């Protein structure tokens, strides 16, 4: 089955008839936008050193997402594979290849953005777990800034990933940095390279550090 056939099959047989793309996108972006605002609202008179937590967690987010992308989404791990490898490597990467990287209609958002339950799980389980873990040994301002950085990175990931799947003539891609990251991501959608190269979406720091950056 070629890419176009797979796309048609996926749209007809996998995407639920009740799927509402704009509800999906609105939920993801509303939650991920409100989270950092809420966390930043909790901060009281932060020092300069405490503010450094935010860029540090944006860097840590790059590393964490690199590991998740490389080892959970591109490796078949028992028990979790149906929710990680199968959705990402066997659906997302077959629907969007380097030759057909663009979405054609909002219905295609179903396999472009993270499922709503992933965002909900991040907000309800992952962030509280991070909060209680860090609260044992870090000041409250640092904890809130850490949570802000983590949620902001998720928001940036969803945004940059969407931009990377826009048509190359889109006005946003007149910006060199966005066009560069789209090209970086395009390589990742080559079926021959996807398990080994270009795992970063927002900026390719971890790809550079771990020598998984590939430029054709």
Separation between Cα atoms, residue 180 and residue 164, nearest integer Å: 9
Tell me how many degrees the CA angle 60-64-69 measures, rounded to the nearest 5: 145
Residue 41 lies in a domain: yes
> pLDDT above 70 covers what percent of the chain?
100
110 pLDDT higher than 90: yes
Number of domains in the chain: 1
> pLDDT above 90 covers what percent of the chain?
98
Kindly give the residue spans of alpha helices, DSSP state H, lying in 88-139.
93-95, 116-121, 127-135
pTM for this entry: 0.95
- Structure-token pair, residue 60: 């840590």
Residue 90 lies in a domain: yes
- Expressed as residue numbers, the domain containing 118 is 28-209
Residue 12 lies in a domain: no
Residue 114 lies in a domain: yes
Question: What's the whole-number mean pLDDT along residues 172-179?
Answer: 97
Question: What's the whole-number mean pLDDT along residues 160-186?
Answer: 97
Residue 54 lies in a domain: yes
Q: pLDDT tier at 36 (50, 70, 90 boundaries)?
A: very high
Would you state the pLDDT for residue 68? Answer: 97
Separation between Cα atoms, residue 214 and residue 1, nearest integer Å: 27
Residue 17 lies in a domain: no
Q: How far apart, in Å, are the Cα atoms of 5 and each of 31, 76, 100? A: 34, 25, 12
Separation between Cα atoms, residue 181 and residue 183, nearest integer Å: 5
Residue 156 lies in a domain: yes
Contact 123, 129 (CB under 8 A): no
DSSP state of 200: -
Residue 99 lies in a domain: yes
């Amino acid at each position: 089955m070629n890419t176009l056939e797979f796309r048609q099959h996926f749209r007809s047989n996998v995407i639920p008839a009740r799927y509402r793309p704009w509800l999906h996108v609105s939920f993801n972006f509303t939650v991920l936008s409100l989270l950092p605002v809420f966390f930043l609202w909790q901060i009281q008179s932060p020092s300069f050193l405490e503010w450094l937590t935010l860029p540090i967690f944006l860097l840590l987010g790059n590393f964490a997402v690199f590991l998740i992308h490389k080892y959970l989404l591109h490796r078949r791990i028992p028990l979790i594979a149906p929710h990680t490898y199968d959705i990402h490597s066997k659906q997302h990467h077959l629907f969007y290849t380097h030759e057909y990287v663009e979405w054609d209609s909002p219905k295609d958002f179903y396999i472009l953005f993270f499922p709503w339950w992933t965002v909900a799980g991040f907000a309800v389980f992952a962030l509280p777990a991070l909060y209680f873990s860090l609260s044992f040994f870090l000041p409250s301002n640092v904890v809130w800034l850490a949570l802000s950085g983590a949620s902001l990175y998720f928001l940036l990931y969803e945004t940059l990933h969407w931009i990377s799947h826009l048509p190359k003539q889109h006005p946003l891609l007149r910006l060199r940095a966005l066009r560069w990251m789209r090209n970086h991501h395009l390589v990742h959608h080559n079926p021959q390279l996807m398990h080994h190269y270009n795992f970063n979406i927002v900026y390719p720091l971890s790809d550079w550090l771990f020598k998984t950056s590939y430029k054709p």
